[in-house]
Amino acid sequence: MGKSLIPCLFFGLILFVAASDLVVWLMAIELPGRRFVRTPVKLSWSDLRYSTWGPKIENHFTGRSVLYHGSGALYNEMFYRMARRTTGLVAANEGWLFLKSNTLELEAEDLDASLAEGVEVMAAVHERLAERGKKLWVVLIPNRPVIYAELAGNPAVGGRGRYLDDFCAALEQRGVRYVNLTEPLQRLAESGVDTHFRADHHWSYEGCQASAQAVATTLLAEPHDRWVSAPRGGGVSWEVADPPVHRSLVSFLKFRKESELERRYLRGQSLAVFEDDWKAMAPDGEVRDILTLESSFGMFGFAQFLESALGTGVDALVEPGNGSVYPLARYLSGGYGGLIDREHRWVIWVVPQYHLEEGLKNEGGSRIRLPDSRASSAASREVAVLSQQIRGGTPHRRRFHLKGRQLDVRLEFGEPVELVKFTCNAGGGMKRGILTCRGAGEEGLLVHVGGRETDDYWFRLEPPRSRVDLSVVFPDFGYWLRDLTWQGFSTRE
């Protein structure tokens, strides 16, 4: 063998993996793995022009690679067994896994800044809804390590442990109604019930139910008019997860049929089964008294539990995977078919602590602004568009298909405009996008994805300008924008 052993091992490894990937690709074998999404890579000539072919192939390749799935799963499994550690996670006793980012102490200055920003946003939303005769309730969900401080190895004595208390004190000063779920969830945890899933940052069904009960208790203590809508009356049954409901991490490698991580995960966990799940609670013809705006935490039946606890109908808008600002922003901008104009008297915005701690930022770090609902009323005189340039999209009937992740629109108006309205319906992906406008601050508006209706996005330009540059950025490839229009307005007659 001499000097050939190491090269043989090296080339053998990379050729084996490459050949395995080829086989998987040719035979279209569906590899297991929760995050695996089998999507064909679509390349076109425009990918060469926009240099998107490389990232597309890299994305596709990484998502399909045998090694990506195999080694990732195997590594996590083996390493967890040996070192009680998995990448990005803190592994505690009893199968508890914590997101490392949730257990770290943050700089006091950053926390203070995000707190001030969050309170400011909530106060503004509170005022806007009050103008429409609606009451805002902010429901604040603590991070798991705050509830399970000892398990997470974080004594929760730092700023993050006090964060929601400080936040609520600031909200109280600004007259914003809130429910802090820290205490009810801590009480439930002390009674021995898991308030959260052990290997996920969401609350458990039991934690969700207890939270809904705590919210209902607070709401009922508030003087209110008689409820006008009846609950749907859908039933809830409970079952215990055994065997685990999720696939093993390493099942495809046939090391074990059941992973150590998952054996500890969900076994014995109570799961609520709803007759009508949250999707059926989207507002329809009949409007209920209460509307909840929720992120993925809503998927565990918060609205159903709340409806049962209150004894009145609750409408729910749940937007999993898009954060808690997204449903609020869409609601405020007149999305969901102009739902903001309907008669919901109480609007409950459910916000997890870590969404607040991060500040109002989109994926990628772009700052988010909430829609300016007064902009449309300020627009008095439309200014003609002299020229328009669109880059990064291919027109196809009513749609512009994005060639990469970004579409740029440059508009030249006949005179300086103070307000710009951008209208479109976005689709082709799951995640929200962000729309920025040069001259209107660094923050962008979240671009709503899905549905058939178009959404309006308003920007105020300071100072007014004739040339306007708008950019829509999505987190992935394959998005399109339909019925794209724009208008510029001057507020001066």
Partner 1 sequence: MLFTSYSFLFLFLPLFLLAYVACPIRGRSALILVGSYVFYAFWRVDFCLLLLGVSLLGYGGGRLVDRWSSNRARWASAAFITSVATMLAGLAWFKYAGFLGESWNSLIRYIGAPGWTITVPEVLLPVGISFYTFQAISYVVDVARGAKASRCFIEFAAYVALFPQLVAGPIVRFGEIRESLAQPRISGIGLHAGVILFMLGFCKKVWIANNVGLAADWAFSLQSPSVTASWFGVLAYSLQIYFDFSGYSEMAIGLGMLLGFRFPENFRMPYLSKNIAEFWQRWHMTMSRFFRDYFYIPLGGNREGAGRTFINLMATMLLAGLWHGAGWTFVIWGLFHGILLAIHRGWTILWRPRVSNPATTGRIRDLGATGLTLLCVMLGWVLFRAENLTGAWRIYTGMMGGFGWHEAHLFAGRFDGVCQAMFALGILFVFAEPWIRPRLEVSRPTQLGLFICFVGGLHELGAQAYNPFLYFQF
Task: Pick between residue 11 and residue 492 the one whose CB is nearest to partner 1.
Answer: 11
Residues 280-299 that bind partner 1 (CB under 8 A): 299
What DSSP assignment string belongs to 220-260?
Answer: HHS--PPP-S------EEEEE--S-SSPPSSGGGTS-SS-H
Please tell me the distance from the alpha carbon of residue 181 to that of residue 141, in angstroms, as a whole number.
6
Minimum distance, C-beta of residue 171 to partner 1, in the bound complex (Å): 26
Q: Is 74 in the site for partner 1 (CB under 8 A)?
A: yes
Q: Is 442 in the site for partner 1 (CB under 8 A)?
A: no
| CA neighbor of 50 nearest in space, from 407, 364, 323 | 407
Question: Segment near partner 1 (CB under 8 A), from 85-93, 167-175, 215-223, 274-282?
Answer: 85-93
CA separation (Å) from 141 to 102, 198, 279, 352? 13, 16, 21, 4
Amino acid sitting at position 55: P
Minimum distance, C-beta of residue 395 to partner 1, in the bound complex (Å): 22
Please tell me the distance from the alpha carbon of residue 487 to that of residue 385, in angstroms, as a whole number.
8
Q: Is 54 in the site for partner 1 (CB under 8 A)?
A: yes
Please tell me the distance from the alpha carbon of residue 50 to that of residue 402, in angstroms, as a whole number.
10
Task: Pick between residue 351 and residue 375 the one whose CB is nearest to partner 1.
Answer: 351
Q: Is 4 in the site for partner 1 (CB under 8 A)?
A: yes
Task: Pick between residue 79 and residue 227 the one whose CB is nearest to partner 1.
Answer: 79
Residues 149-178 that bind partner 1 (CB under 8 A): 153-154, 157-158
Task: Pick between residue 230 and residue 245 the one whose CB is nearest to partner 1.
Answer: 245
Q: Which two tokens stand for residue 463?
A: 């100072």
Q: Is 34 in the site for partner 1 (CB under 8 A)?
A: yes
Q: Is 17 in the site for partner 1 (CB under 8 A)?
A: yes
Task: Pick between residue 84 and residue 132 the one whose CB is nearest to partner 1.
Answer: 84
Question: Segment near partner 1 (CB under 8 A), from 56-64, 173-181, 222-230, 322-330?
Answer: 56-64
Q: Is 221 in the site for partner 1 (CB under 8 A)?
A: no
Residues 318-337 that bind partner 1 (CB under 8 A): 320-321
CB neighbour list of residue 390: distance below 8 Å, 6 or more residues apart = 400, 407, 408, 409, 484
Please tell me the distance from the alpha carbon of residue 273 to that of residue 275, in angstroms, as a whole number.
7
| CA neighbor of 433 nearest in space, from 474, 478, 404, 402 | 474
Of 29, 61, 338, 374, the one binding partner 1 (CB under 8 A) is 61
* In contact, 302 and 324? CB cutoff 8 Å: no
Task: Pick between residue 104 and residue 384 the one whose CB is nearest to partner 1.
Answer: 104
Minimum distance, C-beta of residue 321 to partner 1, in the bound complex (Å): 7
Evaluate the CA torsion angle 219, 179, 237, 298 in order and state its sign. positive
CA separation (Å) from 430 to 336, 451, 454? 16, 11, 16
Minimum distance, C-beta of residue 353 to partner 1, in the bound complex (Å): 16
Number of residues engaging partner 1 in binding (CB under 8 A):
66
Q: Is 238 in the site for partner 1 (CB under 8 A)?
A: no
CA atoms within 13 A on the CB side of 161: 14
Q: Is 258 in the site for partner 1 (CB under 8 A)?
A: no
Residues 87-116 that bind partner 1 (CB under 8 A): 87-90, 97, 99-100, 103-105, 107, 109-110
Q: Is 62 in the site for partner 1 (CB under 8 A)?
A: yes
Residues 184-213 that bind partner 1 (CB under 8 A): 199-200, 202
* In contact, 452 and 427? CB cutoff 8 Å: no
Task: Pick between residue 112 and residue 275 the one whose CB is nearest to partner 1.
Answer: 112
Please tell me the distance from the alpha carbon of residue 397 to that of residue 384, in angstroms, as a whole number.
24
CA atoms within 13 A on the CB side of 342: 20
**In which region does residue 2 sit, left (phi positive, over 0), alpha (psi from -120 to 50) or beta (all else)?**
left
Task: Pick between residue 35 and residue 397 the one whose CB is nearest to partner 1.
Answer: 35
Question: Segment near partner 1 (CB under 8 A), from 33-41, 356-364, 377-385, 402-410?
Answer: 33-41
Q: Is 130 in the site for partner 1 (CB under 8 A)?
A: no
26-61 in b/e burial notation, b at 16+ Cβ within 10 A?
A: eeeeebebeeeeeeeeeeeebbeebebbeebeeebe
Of 85, 174, 257, 398, the one binding partner 1 (CB under 8 A) is 85
Helix (H) or strand (E) holding 11: helix 5-26
Q: Count of CB atoms within 10 A of residue 119's CB?
A: 22
**Is the omega angle on the peptide bond into residue 464 within 30 degrees of 0, that is, cis?**
no
Of 41, 67, 193, 241, the one binding partner 1 (CB under 8 A) is 67
Helix (H) or strand (E) holding 164: helix 159-173
Minimum distance, C-beta of residue 130 to partner 1, in the bound complex (Å): 35
Q: Is 86 in the site for partner 1 (CB under 8 A)?
A: yes
Minimum distance, C-beta of residue 47 to partner 1, in the bound complex (Å): 8
Minimum distance, C-beta of residue 90 to partner 1, in the bound complex (Å): 7
Question: Segment near partner 1 (CB under 8 A), from 83-91, 215-223, 337-345, 410-418?
Answer: 83-91
Helix (H) or strand (E) holding 388: strand 385-391
Instruction: Give the interface with partner 1 as residue ranges (CB under 8 A).
Output: 3-7, 9-11, 13-15, 17-18, 21, 33-35, 48-49, 51, 53-54, 57-58, 61-62, 65, 67-76, 79, 83, 85-90, 97, 99-100, 103-105, 107, 109-110, 153-154, 157-158, 199-200, 202, 249, 261, 299, 320-321
